[in-house]
Amino acid sequence: MNLIRQLECAIVKGNTKKVAAITQECLQEGIPPAAIIEKAILKGLAVVGQKWKTYEYFIPNVLVSAMATKLSLGTLQSALKASPPPTIGRAVAGTVRGDVHDIGKNILLMFMESSGFEVIDLGIDVPPEHFVKMVKSAEPDLLLLSCLYTVTMHAMEDTIISLRKAGLKGKVKTIVGGAPITQEFADQIGADGFGVDAVDGVKKAKELIEKSKPLKHFSSAGKRNA
């Protein structure tokens, strides 16, 4: 069994004792972090999700797989920080108010960093006013909003409304994602992009950066204007 397959199985089984070591072996073999995430971690999480849907896995199974995922991502993050790619844009990210899930967000951010984005992660249960505050202070190109619960989807709309009221809606592009999110919902709340998964999220982020390049500039005061 090759290393990628071993890591996928470790994620599925929630093998917290071996997952970091296998991830490190993948890196030592020269496998890029993005490939490790896409071919091992994401595939493993997809299996876990399917087992959950078919009642083969229950909450304890999902939790140990989540812990294994975090350990693997932690190992990859160290590798990314050691040799960061050229920066192509800045993003502020967070799980919206009322939601405490961050695995999907964390995987996306790993992809973003490995693709050259500077990322500011606000964590979980982030209220709209905190997103607005960070957009004002950090002046990011992108705002990434995540959720897992259907009942917290409205917090994404609240955040975009708050951006609009603060006069920031046209100065930062918003991308939304998470299990219950669809393109229709993204369009409905006025988001600029929607990512089906981490790979698609990075693709949308790059597209938005490219589209906004002619419109972005810094004034003499150092502020970014639309």
pLDDT in tens, 148-176: 889 999 999 999 999 999 999 889 999 99
Scored b (16 or more CB within 10 A) or e, 9-22 reads bbbbbbbbebbbeb
pLDDT grade for 215, boundaries at 50, 70 and 90: very low
The closest alpha carbon to 205, from 217, 191, 219, 215, belongs to 191
Q: What integer pLDDT is reported at residue 70 of this predicted model?
A: 86
pLDDT grade for 24, boundaries at 50, 70 and 90: very high
Q: What integer pLDDT is reported at residue 25 of this predicted model?
A: 96
pLDDT single digits (tens) 35-59: 898 899 988 988 988 888 899 998 8
pLDDT grade for 33, boundaries at 50, 70 and 90: confident
**With left for phi above 0 and alpha for psi between -120 and 50, is residue 119 left, alpha or beta?**
beta
Q: What integer pLDDT is reported at residue 220 of this predicted model?
A: 35
Q: What integer pLDDT is reported at residue 214 of this predicted model?
A: 56
Q: Which residues lie closer than 8 Å to 58 by C-beta, 6 or more apart?
A: 52
Q: What integer pLDDT is reported at residue 16 of this predicted model?
A: 94
Q: What integer pLDDT is reported at residue 173 of this predicted model?
A: 96
Q: What integer pLDDT is reported at residue 83 of this predicted model?
A: 67
pLDDT grade for 216, boundaries at 50, 70 and 90: very low
User: What integer best gives the mean pLDDT of the chain?
Assistant: 89
Scored b (16 or more CB within 10 A) or e, 138-162 reads ebbbbbbbbbbbeebbebbbbbbeb
Check residues 31 and 223 and name the one with the higher pLDDT.
31
The answer to whether the predicted template modeling score (pTM) of the entire model surpasses 0.85 is no
pLDDT grade for 73, boundaries at 50, 70 and 90: confident
Q: Are 119 and 134 in contact (CB under 8 A)?
A: no
- In sequence order, what are the beta bridge partners of 194? 176
The closest alpha carbon to 160, from 201, 122, 131, 198, belongs to 131
pLDDT single digits (tens) 177-190: 998 999 999 999 99
pLDDT above 50 (res 218): no
Residue ranges and CATH numbers for the domains of the chain are: 3-82 (1.10.1240.10), 89-216 (3.40.50.280)
Check residues 213 and 67 and name the one with the higher pLDDT.
67
